[in-house]
Amino acid sequence: MTMKKLFYYSTAIFSIFISTSYAQLENKKIIDLSYPFDSLTIFWPTETGFQLNTEFKGTTDKGYHYEANTFCSPEHGGTHMDAPAHFYANRPTVDKVPLESLIGNAIVIDVSNKCMDNRDYLVSIQDFMDWETKNGQIKTGTIILLKTGLGKYWPDRIKYMGTNERGKEAVKKLHFPGLDPKAATWLVDTRKIKAVGIDTPSIDFGQSTLFETHVILTEHMVPIFENVANMNLLPTKSFSIIALPMKIAGGSGAPLRIIALL
């Protein structure tokens, strides 16, 4: 085969691949799993909120419309990602997390009924085993989404996180579910998960003081997605996640635009 024929053959194959991939994506239903950043965005009680400041908005002296803003925000608030560096030394910051860790097949573990009865519920190994009994073993490289049901309360701080108070003392009054550290260890050791997300302010439950689940996951370089929105629109399995954080150099976390493809 001549180089010219090889070139045309390779180009044709590539074009078919791109067309097929686009068609497959175009046929997918896209679910936005991120909350907007605004004055109502929920942050940790010790953090400041999101600020959007107008630099200019209106008609310029040359006659065209123009808008520009500046914004200020803590890394960890609203729908965001915790990089492994957040709770473990010498682990990747948000700009160093491989994109492969943020894209993949996903499942939903629905524990909302249990969480309605217990605001401090810890998602257990048994919850995952119960899911597997119905759906088969969780595959290596799966992105896990934990549905506690608290997302329906956003942005009501009292109903969502247990308190509307601010400052260090308010942290003691936080009440929301999280992932049991034992279950976190089980997930990274036996199921080799890719990433994990939850519809609460933290992957550790509200009354945690040692943040053991954070430590376990970040030690194993598992990205964490917190304050994930719209989990009620997702199926139990057979969908994909694309989670792209703001690429903050040296960041321990960042605002996250996360979508599901059904």
The residue segments making up the domain with residue 107 are: 30-261
| 12 has pLDDT over 80 | no
User: What does the longest C-alpha to C-alpha distance in the chain come to?
Assistant: 74
Please count the structural domains in the chain: 1
In a domain, 223, yes or no: yes
pLDDT band at 27 (very low <50, low <70, confident <90, very high): confident
> pLDDT tens, 104-134?
999 999 999 999 999 999 999 999 999 999 9
Residue 72 domain-assigned (yes or no): yes
42 in a structural domain: yes
Find, among 81, 53, 178, the residue nearest to 120 by Cα.
178
**What is the Cα–Cα distance from 241 to 1, expressed in whole angstroms?**
41
pLDDT in tens, 129-139: 999 999 999 99
Q: What is the pLDDT of residues 207-262, one digit of tens each?
A: 999 999 999 999 999 999 999 999 999 999 999 999 999 999 999 999 999 999 99
Q: Does residue 11 fall inside a structural domain?
A: no
Question: Quick check: is 203 in a domain?
Answer: yes
* 56 C-beta neighbours (distance < 10 Å), count: 9
Q: Could you tell me the CATH number of the domain that includes residue 196?
A: 3.50.30.50
In contact, 105 and 240? CB cutoff 8 Å: yes
Q: Examine residue 244 and state whether it is found in any structural domain, yes or no.
A: yes
End-to-end CA distance of the chain: 42
**Across all residues in the chain, what is the average pLDDT?**
95
Under 8 Å CB-to-CB from 251, ≥6 apart: which residues?
75, 83, 93, 94, 95
- 14, part of any domain: no
Instruction: Identify the residue with better confidence: 27 or 98.
Output: 98
Local structure of 181: helix, strand or coil: helix
**Span of 2-6, 26-30, 38-42, 174-178 with lowest mean pLDDT:** 2-6
Rounded Cα distance between 29 and 84, Å, is 30
Does residue 87 fall inside a structural domain?
yes
Count of H-run helices and E-run strands, the chain? 7, 12
Read off the pLDDT of each residue in 71-86 and give the average, rounded to a whole number.
98
